[in-house]
Amino acid sequence: MEANLNWLTDPAVFQINRLDAHSDHVCYASAEEAERGVMLYYHEDDGVNQKVKSYVFTVEEREGRLWGVAECKVLGPHPRRPPRGLLAGGF
């Protein structure tokens, strides 16, 4: 969309190329939850809890749109292939 000076005087034009209002603040119940994210609540006895240090959700802006991002930090080297069922779009 190309800019138009008439927008400045047109009361029907409110915003062009602006993100909707949002907050990038995250609140945690404890310091441990801030460090581990949702992994604090993972209690399965399958080894994942020992391998995954943290799993935290954030939001970032890409091409004028907000995207939800899940960041997973693991202990140890990255596998050559992700386990079956794990989405590998970010690798």
Let me know if residue 7 belongs to a domain: no
Predicted TM-score (pTM) of the model is: 0.47
Question: Is residue 12 included in any domain, yes or no?
Answer: no
d(CA 60, CA 78): 24
Q: How many domains does the chain have?
A: 1
Within-domain flag for 47: yes
Amino acid at residue number 36:
R
Q: Which domain holds residue 59?
A: 19-85
Would you give the distance in Å from CA 75 to the centre of its chain?
20
| Whether the Cβ atoms of residue 66 and residue 19 lie closer than 8 Å to each other | yes
Q: Which two tokens stand for residue 48?
A: 């994942």
Q: What is the pLDDT of residues 29-77, one digit of tens each?
A: 899 988 888 888 888 888 888 888 888 888 888 888 889 888 888 887 7
Which residues are 68's β-sheet partners? 59
In a domain, 2, yes or no: no
- Is residue 54 within a helix (H) or strand (E), and if so which, with residue range? strand 52-62
